[in-house]
Amino acid sequence: MRTPRAPAVPCDAPGGSAVRIERLDLRLIRLPLVRFFETSFGRVHDRTFVLVTAHGEGEMGYGECVADADPYYSSETTETSWHIIERFLAPRVIGVEFTHPREVFPALRAVRGHNMAKAAVEMAAWDLFARQQGAPLARVLGGTRAAIASGVSIGIQNSLEELAERIGIELAAGYRRIKIKIKPGWDASAVDMVRSRFGSIPLMADANAAYHLSDAGHLAALDRFDLMMIEQPLGYDDVADHAVLQRRLKTPICLDESIHTVKIAAEAIAQGACRIINIKPGRVGGHGESVRLHDLCASHGVPVWHGGMLESGIGRAHNLHLSSLPNFTLPGDVAASKRYFVPDLIDPPIEVGPDGMIPVPSGPGIGVSVVSDRVERATERRLSLRRS
């Protein structure tokens, strides 16, 4: 078993510092989105996800599985994550004493892939552990920031006029950088419009794997817009072609979908396939792997930022805590609740200040209050798992 790193702040509560999950509850949740969200792989109007709660010693921890209803961003879906958690992950964690939640991911090693399912369980264990310690999750993770810089991700719109309107709204709200989604047919024209209407704002573009290496010339034409980065232009499972493409672009490439493991990130960095990495704990198997990925990038001088997966306030709170680590030096896709869900599952919701900053919650664990009757109303199916 790997023990990657000592906690930045040792947790030595008098009752001992182990974590043991006595019961895992799964809920399939569906929440309507305030506004549709469109990427190069399609448009969604609601968010369906598995909410995991881990119970132990009278406390509970939350984990939000970021797998979506469809296998378009990644191969996992809400149904595969449910199946994998129920059949393969729950039996490996329920009733097991872990001295630290960073031991949970290595304990799931026999199960290949399914990082989103693993992350939901692992992150619930971190929240449970932090609450048992009476500490904010950020402190247990080694976070050093009290507030994080927030950016927004703006989907593909019906028209450039509509895109300009959305960007105006988000800039007025204080967000520190704008990311627009691009795809063939909605790329140079969109970026050109943004530059001519909004000038030199911090701007980036996310292609969600919509291009091929044969589009290198087309992508190089975006260099003149001075983007902060272009996110995941090529295939979700590709590193080698990104390395070729990066040599042809002035614009830094940021990898998202391609980075499934810390090892792949090390290869991508060594090959020069990217200059920036987007960390989503769901994509790499949870907080423990995210911290390892963060540290790897820091040791190579590769800046990271926190990605988003249209999470409810529960997943969003997890993301805020992780974003407090020192190498998250670029604004993340961790924005206010009201951009996505009204009402959110938490109250008060996550809000961004006029300076584009979001405070990291300071209470125990993820430090937000989940409204149980909202969770109840959004639940389409439930299952309670104990040691058999």
Provide the binding-site residues for ligand OSB, judged by CB under 6 A: 73, 153, 206, 208, 256, 307-310, 333, 335
Q: How far apart are CA 329 and CA 253, in angstroms?
A: 16
Q: By C-beta, is 152 or 296 nearer to ligand OSB?
A: 152
Residue 310 binds which entry of ligand OSB, Mg ion, none, with Cβ cut-offs from 5 to 8 Å by kind?
A: ligand OSB
Q: Does 206 bind Mg ion (CB under 5 A)?
A: yes
Which of 181, 183, 250, 338 is the catalytic position?
Answer: 181
Q: Does 64 bind Mg ion (CB under 5 A)?
A: no
Q: By C-beta, is 39 or 132 nearer to ligand OSB?
A: 39
User: DSSP character for 215?
Assistant: G
Sign, CA dihedral 353-355-358-360, equals: negative
CB of 380 to ligand OSB, least distance (A): 20
Residue 63 binds which entry of Mg ion, ligand OSB, none, with Cβ cut-offs from 5 to 8 Å by kind?
A: none
The residue within the footprint of Mg ion, chosen from 38, 68, 238, 256 (CB under 5 A), is 256
Q: By C-beta, is 289 or 333 nearer to ligand OSB?
A: 333
- Reported in sequence order, the residue ranges of the chain that DSSP labels E, i.e. its strands, are 19-20, 23-39, 42-56, 59-64, 97-98, 147-149, 152-154, 178-181, 203-206, 230-231, 253-255, 276-279, 304-306, 357-359, 379-386
Q: Which of 140, 109, 113, 118 is nearest to 1 (CA)?
A: 109
Count of residues touching Mg ion (by CB under 5 A):
3
Q: What angle do CA 245, 211, 268 make, to 5 degrees?
A: 40
Q: Does 68 bind Mg ion (CB under 5 A)?
A: no
Peptide bond into 348 cis (omega under 30): yes
Q: Print the binding letters for residues 91-110 with Mg ion: x by CB under 5 A, - otherwise.
A: --------------------
Q: By C-beta, is 19 or 191 nearer to ligand OSB?
A: 191
CB of 308 to Mg ion, least distance (A): 9
Q: By C-beta, is 4 or 71 nearer to ligand OSB?
A: 71
Q: Are 173 and 352 in contact (CB under 8 A)?
A: yes
CB of 309 to ligand OSB, least distance (A): 5
User: DSSP character for 65?
Assistant: -
Q: What are residue 370's DSSP bridge partners?
A: 346
Q: Does 170 bind Mg ion (CB under 5 A)?
A: no
Three-state secondary structure call for residue 339: helix
280 given a catalytic annotation: yes
Q: By C-beta, is 62 or 73 nearer to ligand OSB?
A: 73
Q: Are 322 and 139 in contact (CB under 8 A)?
A: no
CB of 50 to ligand OSB, least distance (A): 16
Q: How far apart are CA 38 and CA 154, in angstroms?
A: 8
User: Judging by beta carbons within 10 Å of its beta carbon (0-12, 13-18, 19+), is residue 112 exposed, middle or buried?
Assistant: exposed
For 33: left if phi > 0, alpha if psi spans -120 to 50, otherwise beta; the answer is: beta
CB of 138 to Mg ion, least distance (A): 24
250 given a catalytic annotation: no
Residue 365 binds which entry of Mg ion, ligand OSB, none, with Cβ cut-offs from 5 to 8 Å by kind?
A: none
Residue 115 binds which entry of ligand OSB, Mg ion, none, with Cβ cut-offs from 5 to 8 Å by kind?
A: none
Which residues have a catalytic role annotated?
A: 181, 280
Footprint of Mg ion (CB under 5 A): 206, 231, 256
